[in-house]
Structure 1
């Protein structure tokens, strides 16, 4: 038997709890992974609260978690390139808050030795979202990019990848995170009233592209700053995307992209701060932390 974290009704963090499940049997083309770390993301919080009720299929008791890192303990038929004992990181869908899981072998990549379990387990969702967003918005050298929620998980990665592409980056964040953004190569601005004026003061020549991870008023400000709506993208605000014709950023996940990000992180060329690491059975506390909206980087759940 193995422990998984589930919820059997929508609600606050207290609805999360452990459930003993049968250890999954590895199938053809799959690997089974003993999970050492799993990232906690805002989408997990929204699913638990019921924000997507009627839009995302849920079968109670429902599991959560879209990213993980761990060690392979079973390899299915027709799998090549992986062996029992390999350390990997990867992605799944609403299943990673657990001690053990099975995934297609093309959903994992090898974990570099220099990469911590916590960062490995938290890298896939924010890393691939940021990577794909910059590609979809065609961010290039010479662009001025505005990132909303630049100190969050997606923002932190996006700032660094955009700087590697040669873009200038302005990032919105609370005052306590401004030095952090400067350390990543971004120019920080505060949230709230007067945002458009503060950005224009920093970039009187204009902003070329926006990556939004906030929604609402941040999208309104973006529309004032950038005329080309194909270069305004949001990861969170579907309503705004439909209403204003901006880009709803989704992006396909791939082991190849994840391997590239993992290599950068292992070499110290991509930093992903871990705000907190909680034991698997303390998932409720991890959700409370993420739900504050003030996490710098990522929160993770850890196993043995």
Structure 2
């Protein structure tokens, strides 16, 4: 029997949808029938949705969208946080009123999402939000946190390591830097000159990317670099190789390089996301929110995200 809270169930839901694939200019808010929780599912009243580069990358064109199983009309955004307001038959461990966060592939920027709370992957999942974590922060954790965790598991950083993290000021970088520091590693993070103070606050030693990067890293770490994580392209990979880092201690997330491991959130260990939430709740890991936007400004928010110069995370309020 379907359980729901005492408030009337909304028959309609605002949802950001695309009628054609493309950039931020194709994002519009539509009123659609509110989804209903079926057996094994919960419905979440979304309060915040975090944006990631993958959101606009996978809806930019039909071929890319098809690889993610998306067709028109398509939704937008994957990371969400909110409150359970319907529980379908067979669901245990969740009740109306529970605060949750997780992933709903390309449909998170909406008033309501329906997910399988046992899904365990960012496309379809729910986790209890710790009391100490606000919804805006919880809405940033799923994609970026899982991706950083998976990449760092490849590198197995420890107190004897000096790690080079490329693109360290971005959405995944803020998690990767701090998780590496929690593991005891020294971290050198690449970014623009304007990101230096931001990176220091995260615990990284900043270095400006671009020509001459290897020389600048040598000056910072004359004893050498032992591992590298490239969060943007391949510059950090090539620099790490120039510095003598073996391929088995180099990892990428946004490019494929022969001989180098590539990681994504789907590779994260079971429980990785809950551990990140615990670290946030305990104050050991901070999530900088670069800016938040009301859902009515979704195009502006997506344009900012697509510019790839954001320090931290962008969140949509619903």
1:160 is paired with a residue whose SS is helix
What CA distance in whole angstroms lies between the structure 1 residues aligned with 2:269 and 2:213?
35
2:254 is aligned, of 236, 261, 266, to 236
- Residues 1:26 and 1:226: Cα distance change in structure 2 (over 3 Å): farther
Question: In structure 2, what is the equivalent of residue 184 of structure 1?
Answer: 202
What CA distance in whole angstroms lies between the structure 2 residues aligned with 1:12 and 1:86?
35
Question: In structure 1, what is the equivalent of residue 20 of structure 2?
Answer: 9
Question: In structure 2, what is the equivalent of residue 222 of structure 1?
Answer: 240
2:263 is aligned, of 244, 249, 254, to 249
2:37 is paired with a residue whose SS is coil
- Residues 1:80 and 1:289: Cα distance change in structure 2 (over 3 Å): same
Question: In structure 2, what is the equivalent of residue 68 of structure 1?
Answer: 80
Residue 96 (str. 1) matches residue 111 (str. 2): no
What CA distance in whole angstroms lies between the structure 2 residues aligned with 1:41 and 1:302?
15
1:60 CA displacement: 0.8
Question: In structure 2, what is the equivalent of residue 206 of structure 1?
Answer: 224
TM-score using structure 1 length: 0.93
Question: In structure 2, what is the equivalent of residue 23 of structure 1?
Answer: 34
- Residues 1:254 and 1:84: Cα distance change in structure 2 (over 3 Å): farther
1:143 is aligned, of 161, 184, 205, to 161
1:288 CA displacement: 0.7
TM-score using structure 2 length: 0.89
Residue 47 (str. 1) matches residue 62 (str. 2): no
1:58 CA displacement: 2.7
1:199 is paired with a residue whose SS is helix
1:54 CA displacement: 5.5
- Residues 1:81 and 1:54: Cα distance change in structure 2 (over 3 Å): closer
Number of positions where the alignment pairs a residue of Structure 1 with one of Structure 2: 299
Q: For structure 1, which runs of at least 5 residues remain unmatched after alignment? A: none
Any idea what the Cα deviations from partners look like across 1:96-122, whole Å, max 9, x if unmatched?
111101111122221122212111111
**After the TM superposition, which of the residue ranges 56-65 and 119-128 deviates more from structure 2?**
56-65
What CA distance in whole angstroms lies between the structure 1 residues aligned with 2:177 and 2:307?
22
What CA distance in whole angstroms lies between the structure 2 residues aligned with 1:214 and 1:292?
13
What CA distance in whole angstroms lies between the structure 2 residues aligned with 1:162 and 1:146?
10
Higher share in helix: 1
Alignment of structure 1 residues 70-89 onto 2, 5 Å: 70-89=82-101
Q: For structure 2, which runs of at least 5 residues remain unmatched after alignment? A: 1-11, 119-124
1:44 CA displacement: 1.1
What CA distance in whole angstroms lies between the structure 2 residues aligned with 1:48 and 1:99?
20
CA contact (8 A) 2:229 2:236 kept: no
Q: Give me the CA root mean square deviation.
A: 1.7
1:122 is paired with a residue whose SS is coil
Question: In structure 1, what is the equivalent of residue 192 of structure 2?
Answer: 174
What CA distance in whole angstroms lies between the structure 1 residues aligned with 2:269 and 2:250?
24
